[in-house]
Structure 1
Amino acid sequence: MLTKFPSYYVMSSNTEIGKTVFSTGISIAAVREELRLLYLKPVQTGFPLDTDSSFVKNYNPSDFIITKTIFSMSKPVSPHRAMPVDFNIDGNMDSYHFLDKKMITIIEEEIHLSKSQFVLIEGSGGAASPSLQGQLQCDVFRKFRLPVIFVADAKLGGISTSISTISLLEAKGFEVVCILLFEGKDENYIFLQKYYKNKFPVFLFKNIVDVQNLNFDSLMKRPLDFWYQENEEKFSEVFHHLMSYHVSKIEMINEQIELAKKNIWWPFTQHGNQGEAQFIDSAFEDDIYFVDIKNHQSKNILTERHYDATASWWTQGIGHASPRLTQAAAAAAGRYGHVMFPGNIHEPVVKLTEKLLNTVGKGWAHRVFFSDNGSTAVEVALKMAFRKAIGIKDNDNINSQKNIFILGLKDSYHGDTHAAMDATSENTFKKHEHWYNPRGYWLDYPAIYFKNKKYYVAMPDSFLDESLSDFFTIEVNSVYELFSEKRLETNLANIYINNIENHMKFIENAPFLIGALIIEPVIQGAGGMKFVDPLYQKILIRECKKRKIPIIFDEVFTGFWRLGKASASQLLDEKPDISCFAKLLTGGLLPLSVTLSGEEFFQAFNGDSLSSALLHGHSYSAHPVGCAVALEAIDETRVSKNFLKETNSLEINWNTEIINEISTLSNIANVICLGTLFAFELNDVDADYNSKRGYKIISEIKRLSIDVRPLGNVIYILSGFNTSSYILKSILEKILSILKKEQ
């Protein structure tokens, strides 16, 4: 969080190191410069015998300083132990789960409303000491990510504890701006100054030698007045460093925004229409923190917290900056860095392979191929499928002389590399690409619509005759009944079978070969969040299996519980031959993808000649950091707040009443709500990526601190795996209000 005036955390590795003494000295320096200062102590234990706010005010009684304590508890122990005593909690603390959040909310309000020009927030104990609820203090304070004034330990052993704590803070995303410490008899400062020489300054203060008893009562008699006078110049130096750091931070942001205009080339962005770059200060849990200096000059807080409704291009689920994922990444990076993969293994890749075969690949997959992103995972899948279906390319073979096509659905998207593009039908993504050469046979498909509180099947024109309507009403009590096997016994199933069989008859006599069926199961993501009728996909898959056409599932979007289940194949209850995963695989922390297959596809490449092997690879294939993070991401997903262990699924509590009401609006063509996905389609004659229908609505939604990015006339929200029903309801209420105004 960036504030208009300098705001800092004061942290250390332990208690009784001098945080309050140094906070007082900084406050005196600020008042000497005639600046108003706010000192906040979020948690105070040992009250009233020990109170840091009173200490600061006692040594700095000026009207220019305000000191406040948010939570005070009498027992002089760690907050997580003191809190149950003061609140008379016996055993179960679940009903007090809100206290840490309440504390953070109060801090934010204090900064927002303050008329001070400098803010100090002093932690309790060490940075890794427990909070009121037993979380690490640094994890609780991470939401704001204010810069840190670190008070190092001058005693024997203090070098180790100080460096360890600073490393922890940096791994959590904090910026340490300086170190303060006493000279100490062990001269820790000499090593720390050398160790952090090129990072930040280490300010040295004279020892407090004349005061033998440093308990609270004795210190309140102001025996340190002379010490503060003696160190006045040093505190002034610290204060000016803190002021300078704050000013340079704001200048740096403005400079980087200007540099971005000149040098950065964004993906999927028409720069001719792009406004000024949004500067992201940080991201945490479900939120992104944007800095907006120009529009917030009159406010104390220069950052805006936005709900990450796009899940940062579909990568997020657990939430940003997960401490578990960060630690897993650091541990693997420290152990391996990066190592070459072909012919080698390492612990994270073996464990991840096993876990993948027991989750998204359970019951069908036997091999895992690692690559770097979803598009390349798809290209690998195509190579696997073609080798198994067609065999090794041989110019003397009649089949090698035919074009190899894929069978797919219109509106599909599999990535931006050329083979992945060629595996999709023509659309806005490819119309200006010189090398784009569509090689496929693409089917119209029936889609599920939710409109006026009812589910419909929207039939494409190619399905219709005089006896068929373009919309079929489906009587179901929940969206999950759309996946029922009972639907295979309906007249609609017969219509689908006849349509697919007609296509298959044409393909059998076509001058090309079908190398694979490739589909995005259930939801076609980038194509506009199209909900393909599960019944149609089930029948299509089964008809392809009858003809021994390999089945590829592109689960780059849908995989790893995006739609509630570990994979969309589990929703369909249909097993692919090959499947591609990325995005949520690493919990959104870094790129990694996998292509899973059955053993027979592996054997199609197995032999003695290198030329017949699967010759596809990446320098960072199966990088240990990504594998370690992916392992942790799967485990953390399974303990997320919305995860049900009994069914191994996510249950996102979308508010059905609001969704039903949205479906009745005249400007809404369709609503989708499945798993973490909520999407709505605006009525528009230009229903594709060129649609400008939603510009005003998008602008209004963003103004309400929800960061969205449309897919043409389709606007979507992706819930996090830990997002509360309260937050989701609030988001839906805001969207409903905007849509009503725009009818």
Structure 2
Amino acid sequence: MRQVGSVLWPRLRVLQVYGANTGVGKTIFSSILCRAFLKRFPKVHYLKPISTGPQDEADDRHLSTLSKNVRAKCLYQFADPVSPHIAARSSKESTSNDDIRAAVHDELRSYANGEDGVAVVETAGGVLSPAPSGSSQADLYRPLRLPVFLVGDHQLGGIGTTISAWESLHIRGYDVQSVALFAESRYDNHSYLKDYFAERDIHAFSVPPPPERHSSNAEDARAMQQYYEEISASSSVQSYAAKFVEDHAKRVDDLQAISTEAVEAIWHPFMQHSERSKDTITTIDSAYGDYFATHTTQQAAVTAQDPQASLIRPAFDASASWWTQGLGHGNPHLALTAAHAAGRYGHVMFASAVHEPALRLAQTLLANMGNPRLSKVFYTDNGSAGMEVAVKMGIRAAAARNGWSADEDIVILGLKGSYHGDTMGTMDCSEPSIYNKKEPWYTGRGQWLDFPQVKMRKSRWIVEAPEELEGVFGEARTFDSLDDIFDFEKRKVDSDMYRAYCDARLADLEKKGSKFGALVIEPILLGAGGMMFADPLFQRCLVDSVRGSSHNAQTSTDDLNWTGMPVICDEIFTGLYRLGRFSASKSFLGIDADIVANAKLLTGGVLPLCTTTASQAIFDAFVSDNKTDALLHGHSYTAHPVGCSVANESLKKTMKLDRGGAWDRFKQPWRASGSETLGAWSMWSEAFIKAVSQRSQVESVFALGSVLAISLKDPDGKSYASKAAYEMRDKLLAGGPDEEWVIHSRVLGNVWYAMAAMTTTKETIESLEEKIYAALE
């Protein structure tokens, strides 16, 4: 599948001309600019991607006739003089956004031949006028993110339309370099707009309007020729031309220098800086949809050898930007939602107050989790903070019920390889690991059980026990399908064995005097610990053991109250459709957790926000007449209204994808033969993961929802410190010299993983699968 993104050539300067409205003179300004650039460069190109109306009235014809030496071309010409979305209906030519962007990219690339030149790309109509597909022009061309020259509206009401056009471009991530319009004396829009944009550090200027039309075509042509010659040579236009050239050179220089400067100023997360250099840092110039627009020193070397190679290259965001990206980068719906909330609220304090976005988000979560226990939503800024609150809730509730004092050693029960955040409190909720054991304050306040894992090896689904359980579990189980693993009723032997094991471990820990404040688990997938797919039946049995345990003497007969100890589900990563379902704990494990934390996909990757949702029983443990019994926890940005608003929109869009059948093309191949119900499914095809599992260097692989994880064999053993997956990561990022796009990924020791957005197309996934499979050769 072709992927066209942002482009930047050192010697070809590209400018996109937008109009604030129809009839504002885009073609006239394009002609002026082309002539002005001809005074500086030997080659100037004019490109009109889409044009409607008779050929003899086409804008590229106007340029060819009145601006000699300008190479003019139109890519899509529709004879009917109506909006492109109507004109394209009768066309037999493919006019999808992808096709149009690819055609524009290919045409511009053909101009980049190593010689200095300029290309002026003129749009049709106004900024938000429909493209042939029906989407706005601003959204059609946004992935290219070309620098913009905005032609303002000199007519009555033009001040408002010009500012609105600029805001529409600005909110979509365009760089509007300059605004220009005719100096129409009656309305004097140009004077106001020049001052308005100067305050925003945007260059603005005006030129005299063109001469009145003559009765003779020949006279009219001569008058326009003279007008173009005079205006293109004027100081205001030449000043802009010089600025455009300087801005292009600065953009190239800044892009190539940023990784070097970052080495001096930035402390990167999760990186050993002795291995860092400008050559190992990827500069991300922008992002749109599934892709980053990236620059590397390697790409600069390629561009130096091949003038048609852009300094910027699309790279699929395989980590979904640390698992947060869900509806595509630069999503205009989320951007507009954020802007509206920022304009309505900014940020407002949340103590003893409420605002509608926070209320609606809480109601949406409670209504869709399917968990009758949950009744209250607490807001924090990020996943680590949200899990700190969750653990605080659980431990305080357990202490209150069991009569434990504050100085007693209360710990959590969890799983080995778990990870719940980088704050000092959440680090203590994980066993000693590369993340925490070198921290002087780390104490590891818990007990952690090992667990069987789900994998595909040599085309067979298996459940494999760790060494700790081998004596109980025996040899690995094999299954015909992923659904069979989730069919708990058919796995009664495993269920009885797991339950007996968990009961025995809990009893043993009870004898040793452990006081557990909560069970804390990541449902299904343990993410940062190495993308480990826990046997869901084991997690289910562990919860049943905890709730059936006599460990904590005080119990409850209320079905909505906790027994044994509170169960906390960390769904920061696995919740909100990352695995294909709204709630991982409810839908996969069939449990009603007492506390659930959600973040990551909550806001579609736009803003940091976390919710910690608790049962009424947990909430009631903090209610008394004493202020010190309250949950005295909060953040300056608690329930940030912009974040809450974006979360509402993000969940609305994602639930619509789920209910509207957007994922049916992914789901259908996973449906068991003859079955009317759908179990577990993935955006990655089972045929692909079976093929990957046969590769000689692959230890195992699995896919679930949008997640793909490939464990590579490492002769030095498995650990987060392993470098076994580095080669694959680097190979996919480097790509081949002729590859239009590459893959940007993260690794977890010997595990290379990828995850799609919830909007990623099947065609994109298929292209990714081809690249990944080839990288394993």
Compute the TM-score of the two structures, normalised by the length of structure 2: 0.89
User: Which residue does the alignment assign to 2:358?
Assistant: 349
For residues 263 and 128 of structure 2, the distance between their equivalents in structure 1, rounded to whole angstroms, comes to: 40
Whether 1:430 and 2:436 are equivalent positions in the alignment is: yes
User: Which aligned pairs between 1:89-104 and structure 2 lie closer than 5 A?
Assistant: 99-104=96-101
User: Which residue does the alignment assign to 1:723?
Assistant: 760
Query: Which residue of 98, 103, 106 maps to 1:106?
Result: 103
Deviation of 1:698 after TM superposition, in Å, equals 1.5
User: Which residue does the alignment assign to 1:93?
Assistant: none
Residue 188 of structure 2 aligns with an amino acid whose one-letter code is: E
SS in structure 2 of the partner of residue 224 of structure 1: helix
For residues 320 and 480 of structure 1, the distance between their equivalents in structure 2, rounded to whole angstroms, comes to: 32
User: Which aligned pairs between 1:170-185 and structure 2 lie closer than 5 A?
Assistant: 170-185=170-185
8 Å contact from structure 2 (residues 373, 616) kept in 1 = no
Whether 1:633 and 2:650 are equivalent positions in the alignment is: yes
Whether 1:665 and 2:671 are equivalent positions in the alignment is: no
For residues 203 and 650 of structure 1, the distance between their equivalents in structure 2, rounded to whole angstroms, comes to: 59
Residue 660 of structure 1 aligns with an amino acid whose one-letter code is: K
Q: Percent identity?
A: 34
Residue 22 of structure 1 aligns with an amino acid whose one-letter code is: F
User: Which aligned pairs between 1:158-177 and structure 2 lie closer than 5 A?
Assistant: 158-177=158-177
Query: Which residue of 695, 706, 727 maps to 1:676?
Result: 706
Query: Which residue of 408, 414, 421 maps to 1:408?
Result: 414
User: Deviation digits for residues 426-478 of structure 1, max 9, x if unmatched?
Assistant: 1111121111110101101111121011111111222223x8534222x233x
For residues 196 and 398 of structure 1, the distance between their equivalents in structure 2, rounded to whole angstroms, comes to: 64
Deviation of 1:648 after TM superposition, in Å, equals 11
8 Å contact from structure 1 (residues 42, 121) kept in 2 = yes
More divergent stretch after superposition (309-318 vs 291-300): 291-300
User: Which aligned pairs between 1:142-153 and structure 2 lie closer than 5 A?
Assistant: 142-153=142-153
SS in structure 1 of the partner of residue 190 of structure 2: helix
User: Deviation digits for residues 411-436 of structure 1, max 9, x if unmatched?
Assistant: 00000001100000011111211111
In structure 2, the CA distance between the partners of 1:501 and 1:648, relative to structure 1 (3 Å rule), is closer
In structure 2, the CA distance between the partners of 1:143 and 1:213, relative to structure 1 (3 Å rule), is farther
Deviation of 1:129 after TM superposition, in Å, equals 0.2
Whether 1:315 and 2:324 are equivalent positions in the alignment is: yes
SS in structure 1 of the partner of residue 499 of structure 2: helix
Whether 1:706 and 2:743 are equivalent positions in the alignment is: yes
In structure 2, the CA distance between the partners of 1:218 and 1:241, relative to structure 1 (3 Å rule), is farther
Whether 1:326 and 2:338 are equivalent positions in the alignment is: no
Whether 1:71 and 2:108 are equivalent positions in the alignment is: no
In structure 2, the CA distance between the partners of 1:408 and 1:184, relative to structure 1 (3 Å rule), is same
Query: Which residue of 30, 39, 43 maps to 1:36?
Result: 43
User: Which residue does the alignment assign to 1:564?
Assistant: 580
In structure 2, the CA distance between the partners of 1:253 and 1:10, relative to structure 1 (3 Å rule), is same
8 Å contact from structure 1 (residues 561, 650) kept in 2 = no
Whether 1:3 and 2:12 are equivalent positions in the alignment is: no
Deviation of 1:358 after TM superposition, in Å, equals 1.3
**What's the RMSD between the two structures over aligned residues?**
2.2
More divergent stretch after superposition (246-255 vs 532-541): 246-255
In structure 2, the CA distance between the partners of 1:650 and 1:100, relative to structure 1 (3 Å rule), is farther
Whether 1:279 and 2:276 are equivalent positions in the alignment is: no
For residues 60 and 584 of structure 1, the distance between their equivalents in structure 2, rounded to whole angstroms, comes to: 51
8 Å contact from structure 1 (residues 669, 683) kept in 2 = yes
8 Å contact from structure 1 (residues 448, 531) kept in 2 = yes
8 Å contact from structure 2 (residues 602, 609) kept in 1 = yes
Deviation of 1:334 after TM superposition, in Å, equals 0.2
User: Deviation digits for residues 340-365 of structure 1, max 9, x if unmatched?
Assistant: 00110111111111111112364331
SS in structure 2 of the partner of residue 492 of structure 1: helix
8 Å contact from structure 1 (residues 151, 181) kept in 2 = yes
Deviation of 1:32 after TM superposition, in Å, equals 2.0
User: Deviation digits for residues 185-226 of structure 1, max 9, x if unmatched?
Assistant: 211111011111141221210122333679xx7897343112
SS in structure 1 of the partner of residue 724 of structure 2: coil
In structure 2, the CA distance between the partners of 1:720 and 1:148, relative to structure 1 (3 Å rule), is same
For residues 264 and 651 of structure 2, the distance between their equivalents in structure 1, rounded to whole angstroms, comes to: 40
User: Which residue does the alignment assign to 2:483?
Assistant: 480
In structure 2, the CA distance between the partners of 1:714 and 1:24, relative to structure 1 (3 Å rule), is same
For residues 43 and 650 of structure 1, the distance between their equivalents in structure 2, rounded to whole angstroms, comes to: 44
User: Which residue does the alignment assign to 1:92?
Assistant: none
Deviation of 1:87 after TM superposition, in Å, equals 4.3
In structure 2, the CA distance between the partners of 1:417 and 1:398, relative to structure 1 (3 Å rule), is closer
Residue 170 of structure 1 aligns with an amino acid whose one-letter code is: H
8 Å contact from structure 2 (residues 413, 447) kept in 1 = yes
Query: Which residue of 206, 209, 212 maps to 1:210?
Result: 212
8 Å contact from structure 1 (residues 11, 149) kept in 2 = yes
8 Å contact from structure 1 (residues 689, 711) kept in 2 = yes
SS in structure 1 of the partner of residue 287 of structure 2: strand
SS in structure 2 of the partner of residue 204 of structure 1: strand
8 Å contact from structure 2 (residues 682, 703) kept in 1 = no
8 Å contact from structure 1 (residues 566, 649) kept in 2 = no
More divergent stretch after superposition (362-371 vs 37-46): 362-371
More divergent stretch after superposition (6-15 vs 160-169): 6-15
Deviation of 1:567 after TM superposition, in Å, equals 1.5
In structure 2, the CA distance between the partners of 1:522 and 1:650, relative to structure 1 (3 Å rule), is closer
User: Which aligned pairs between 1:548-627 and structure 2 lie closer than 5 A?
Assistant: 548=563, 549-569=565-585, 570-627=587-644
SS in structure 2 of the partner of residue 413 of structure 1: coil
8 Å contact from structure 1 (residues 377, 595) kept in 2 = yes
Residue 169 of structure 1 aligns with an amino acid whose one-letter code is: L
User: Which residue does the alignment assign to 1:18?
Assistant: 25
User: Which residue does the alignment assign to 2:391?
Assistant: 382
User: Which aligned pairs between 1:442-481 and structure 2 lie closer than 5 A?
Assistant: 442-465=448-471, 469-473=474-478, 475-477=479-481, 479-481=482-484
Residue 695 of structure 1 aligns with an amino acid whose one-letter code is: Y
Whether 1:738 and 2:759 are equivalent positions in the alignment is: no
In structure 2, the CA distance between the partners of 1:500 and 1:706, relative to structure 1 (3 Å rule), is same
Deviation of 1:235 after TM superposition, in Å, equals 2.8
Whether 1:299 and 2:304 are equivalent positions in the alignment is: no
SS in structure 1 of the partner of residue 271 of structure 2: coil
More divergent stretch after superposition (261-270 vs 408-417): 261-270
Structure 2 runs not aligned, ≥5 long:
1-5, 550-562, 668-675, 736-741
Query: Which residue of 622, 635, 642 maps to 2:662?
Result: 642
8 Å contact from structure 2 (residues 377, 614) kept in 1 = yes
More divergent stretch after superposition (664-673 vs 138-147): 664-673
For residues 285 and 215 of structure 2, the distance between their equivalents in structure 1, rounded to whole angstroms, comes to: 44
For residues 173 and 268 of structure 2, the distance between their equivalents in structure 1, rounded to whole angstroms, comes to: 25
8 Å contact from structure 1 (residues 403, 511) kept in 2 = no
Whether 1:192 and 2:193 are equivalent positions in the alignment is: yes
SS in structure 2 of the partner of residue 638 of structure 1: helix
Aligned length: 721
User: Which residue does the alignment assign to 1:270?
Assistant: 272
For residues 566 and 609 of structure 2, the distance between their equivalents in structure 1, rounded to whole angstroms, comes to: 24
Residue 566 of structure 1 aligns with an amino acid whose one-letter code is: F
Query: Which residue of 244, 249, 252 maps to 1:250?
Result: 252
Deviation of 1:398 after TM superposition, in Å, equals 5.8
More divergent stretch after superposition (649-658 vs 511-520): 649-658
For residues 662 and 441 of structure 2, the distance between their equivalents in structure 1, rounded to whole angstroms, comes to: 44
In structure 2, the CA distance between the partners of 1:647 and 1:121, relative to structure 1 (3 Å rule), is farther
8 Å contact from structure 1 (residues 80, 132) kept in 2 = yes
SS in structure 2 of the partner of residue 178 of structure 1: strand
Deviation of 1:47 after TM superposition, in Å, equals 2.6
User: Which aligned pairs between 1:518-529 and structure 2 lie closer than 5 A?
Assistant: 518-529=520-531
For residues 218 and 412 of structure 1, the distance between their equivalents in structure 2, rounded to whole angstroms, comes to: 79
Residue 55 of structure 2 aligns with an amino acid whose one-letter code is: P
User: Which aligned pairs between 1:37-56 and structure 2 lie closer than 5 A?
Assistant: 37-56=44-63
Compute the TM-score of the two structures, normalised by the length of structure 1: 0.93
Deviation of 1:244 after TM superposition, in Å, equals 1.1
User: Which residue does the alignment assign to 2:559?
Assistant: none
